[in-house]
A and B are shown apart, each in its own frame.
Chain A
Amino acid sequence: MMRWLDMAQFNLRLILKHRFRTSMVLLALIIGVSAVNLMIGLGEGARLFVLGEFSFLGKNTLIVMPGKKETTGGMPPITGASPRDLTLQDSEAIARLPAVKRMAPLVVGLAELSYQGRVRESIVVGTHADFQFIRQLSLRQGRFLPASELHLAQAIAVIGPTLKRELFGPEPALGRWLRAGDRRFRVIGVLESKGVALGMDFDEVMLVPVASAQTLFNQQGLFRVFAEVRAFGRVEATRAQVIQVIKARHDHEEDITVITQDAMLSAFNDILKTITLGVAGIAAISLLVAGVLIMNVMLISVSQRTAEIGLLQALGANQRVLLQLFLSEALILGLLGSVLGLLLSEVVLAVGRFYFPAMPLHSPLWAKVAALGVALTTALLFAYLPARRAARMEPVAALNEEKGV
C-alpha cells in the first residue's frame, strides 16, 4: 500500500505543476473559510461588546420593577403605569430579607441644575448608600451618600465629574450649594469617571438621597429597587421571596417584576448567537461554491490524466489506491486553502481590533475548527465523484485514451 508521505509528495508535485487551477481553487477556499471565520469573529465581537455593556451589575443582583410582565427575559416595562407603586416601605421589606445583603431603591428624574448662573439639565437619581457598592462607583473627592435613615430627605448630593466640570469649572465643588429645581443641595462628593453603561452616563448625573428625590419630583413610587443577594446560589430562591413579600404587602396581587441580570443577558446572548450563526451559515455557502469549483477542476484533471490513471493501474494501483490518491489531492488543497483563509481572516480581525479597541473581535476556537471542518468536508465530498470516476476507469481504455510522453 502506498505510503501517505509519498502520496502527499506525489500530489504536491501535481498541485505545484498546475499553478493556475491550484490558485483558483485556493482562492475560492480562502474566501469561503475566511468569510466564515470573519463573520463569527465579528458576531462574537458584537456579542461580547453588548454583554459587556449590559453587565454593569454584579451577577447576584436582583432588579425589582413595579408592574407585571408575563414573559421572562427581554426588556423590562420601562414605561407603562402600574396600578400600585413600589414604595420605600416595600424596599425596606426587601432589605429585611435575610438573604439580601444590600438594597438600593431608585427614583429617577430630570432636573435643571444651576450654580452661579451656569445652568445644565441633568438626570437626578435618588438612591441610598448601598448603591455605591451595587453599581461599583468610586469617588474622586469627598464621600458618597450616607447610610442614614431612608426617609430622611437630606439636602446633599454627589455629582459626576462631567457635571462638576460644567457647573463649577476649575473651582472646588465640595461644600458648595447648587440648585436643582426649587431646591438646594450641598455637594458632598464627586464621582470618578466611569463612562457610559447601558444608557446611563454616571459622569453626568447627580445622586441625592432617595427621600430628597421623592420630594424634588413629587413622586412616591420607586423606579427600581436593586437587591444584592448574599450568595449567588440563592438568587432564584431570593427572587421568589421578594415576589412573595411584595405580594403580601400589595393585597396578594403580584404586581412587580423581578429580573436577574442573567435573565436579561441570556436573552441578548441568545439573539446575538443566533445572528452570528445565521451570518456564518450564509458565509458557509461560499464554501459550497468552492466545492463546486473543486469538483469541476478535479473532473478536468481526471480526464486530462486518463493515460496516467491507466498507467497507475498497470503498475498495480487498485481502485482504492486511486480513490485515495485523488481524494488526498483534494484534502491537501482543502488544508492549504483553509489554513491560508484562517490566517487571512485572523489578520483582518487583528486590524479590526487595532482600529476598534473597544470591540473584542476574536473568533473562538470552535469557529476555526468549524470553518476548517466544513472546508475539508466540502473538498472531500465534491472530490469524491471525480475520484470515483478515476478509480473505476477501465485500464485498457484509459491507457489507449491518449498517447503519453
Chain B
Amino acid sequence: MSEKAPLVQLRAVDRHFLLGDQTVKALDQVTLDIHAGDYISVMGPSGSGKSTLLNILGLLDQPSGGEYVLDGQETSGMSEVQRAAYRQREIGFVFQAYHLIPRLSARANMELPLMLAGYPAKQRAERVEPLLQRLGLQARASHLPRQLSGGERQRVAIGRAMAMHPKMLLADEPTGNLDTRSGAEVVALLEELNRDGITLIVVTHDIELGKRAPRQIKMVDGKIAKDLILTAKAHPA
C-alpha cells in the first residue's frame, strides 16, 4: 500500500434518508481509506448501502454526517459547480443499465463527457479513436445503442467513463445485465484499466466477481461488516 495520503478518506460518514416518519440509515458511521490505484469490490445484500457508498464516493450524493476528504479536499465545502467539475475530470461511472443516450452513436456517446467539457471535435476524436480500438469497437462506432449487444453497450459505457482519463472508476453492478461471457470480458477490461493505474471500485452482487478484487468490503445495514485485504500472493488473477 502506498505511503502517500489516501485518495479517499471517509471518516464516520452517515447517510440518512427519511422514509415516511422513519429514518433509514443507508450509511452508518463508515470509515474507509482508499488509495490511488486500489482495486476494491463492495459486496453485500440489497439495501446494505453499497450503492449509497458509491454515490457518495462519486460526489453524486452528500453525507448526512461525518467527513469525506477526496484528493486532499474536504467535500462538504465544495459547491455544486465544483463537485460537477471534479466528477467531470476525475471520476468515471459505469452503470448496470449502461445509461447510453439512445439517439447518439457509440462514438458520440463516448465523446459525450468531452463534449460537455468543451473539447473541440478534433480533440474528441483524438481521445476516442484509441479507446474504440482498445475496446474492439471500431466497427461498431457508428451504431446506435439499440444496434449493439449488451456486452458492446457496456464497453461503450466504459469507453465513455475513460474518455476524460479519470483517477477513479466507479462501477455499479457492471456485469449485472450481461451473460457470463460478456461479463467476463467487461471484468477483464476493468481490471486491465486498473493495472494501468486507475482506482477501481466495483459494487456487485456477484461473489465470483467480488472475490477477484485484492480488497473486498462487505456491507451489512449501512456498516462495513468486513474489510478483507489480500496480499499480493493471494491475488487470484
Binding site for B on A (CB under 8 A): 1-3, 6, 10, 13-14, 17, 307-308, 310-321, 394-396, 399, 403-405
Contact = CB atoms under 8 A, between A and B. Distances in A.
A405 B103 contact: no
A14 B103 CA distance: 7
A307 B99 contact: yes
Interface in B115-169: 115-118, 120, 145-146, 153, 160, 164
A1 B112 CA distance: 12
A317 B97 contact: no
Contacts of A3: 115, 118, 120
A317 B116 contact: yes
Given A395-B61, A396-B61, A316 B100 contact: no
B99 A318 contact: no
8 contacts: A2-B116, A10-B115, A311-B101, A316-B89, A321-B84, A394-B61, A395-B60, A404-B97
Contacts of B117: 2, 316
A314 B118 contact: no
B49 interface: no
A396 B60 contact: yes
Nearest to A403: B97
Contacts of B55: 395-396
A13 B115 CA distance: 15
A313 B60 contact: yes
Interface of B: 55, 58, 60-61, 80-81, 84-85, 87-89, 93, 95-104, 112-113, 115-118, 120, 145-146, 153, 160, 164
A190 to B, nearest CB: 77
A404 B100 contact: yes
B60 A314 contact: yes
A250 B219 CA distance: 112
A404 B172 CA distance: 14
A307 B115 CA distance: 18
A396 B101 CA distance: 17
Contact of A317 (B84, B93, B101, B153): B84
A64 B81 CA distance: 75
B120 A316 contact: no
Contacts of A314: 58, 60, 87, 93, 99
Nearest to B153: A405
Nearest to A312: B116
A403 B98 CA distance: 8
A394 B59 CA distance: 11
A316 B84 contact: yes
Contacts of A396: 55, 60-61
B99 A310 contact: yes
Contacts of A10: 115
A2 B117 CA distance: 6
Nearest to B56: A396
Given A13-B103, A399-B99, A404-B97, A318 B115 contact: no
A403 B177 CA distance: 11
B100 A405 contact: yes
Contacts of B80: 318-319
Contacts of B113: 315-316
Nearest to A402: B97
B61 A2 contact: no
| B58, B99, B115, B145: most-surrounded residue (chain A CB, <10 A) | B99
Given A2-B116, A395-B61, A315 B88 contact: yes
| B81, B95, B102: most-surrounded residue (chain A CB, <10 A) | B95
A150 B160 CA distance: 98
Contact of B84 (A6, A318, A394): A318
A378 to B, nearest CB: 27
A315 B116 contact: yes
6 closest A-B pairs by CB? A316-B88, A318-B84, A404-B99, A403-B97, A395-B60, A315-B113
B26 to A, nearest CB: 11
Contacts of B101: 308, 311
Contacts of B81: 318-320
B144 to A, nearest CB: 9
A321 B116 contact: yes
A6 B118 CA distance: 8
Contacts of B118: 1-3
Contact of B102 (A1, A312, A399, A405): A405
Nearest to A10: B115
Nearest to B118: A1
B117 to A, nearest CB: 7
A318 to B, nearest CB: 4
A27 B55 CA distance: 43
Contacts of A307: 97, 99
| A17, A308, A319, A395: most-surrounded residue (chain B CB, <10 A) | A395
Contacts of A315: 87-88, 93, 112-113, 116, 160
| B55, B89, B96: most-surrounded residue (chain A CB, <10 A) | B55
Contacts of A321: 84, 116
A396 B160 CA distance: 19
Contacts of B58: 314
A405 B146 contact: yes
A319 B80 CA distance: 8
A7 to B, nearest CB: 9
Contacts of B164: 316
A13 B99 CA distance: 18
B228 to A, nearest CB: 28
B153 to A, nearest CB: 7
A324 to B, nearest CB: 11
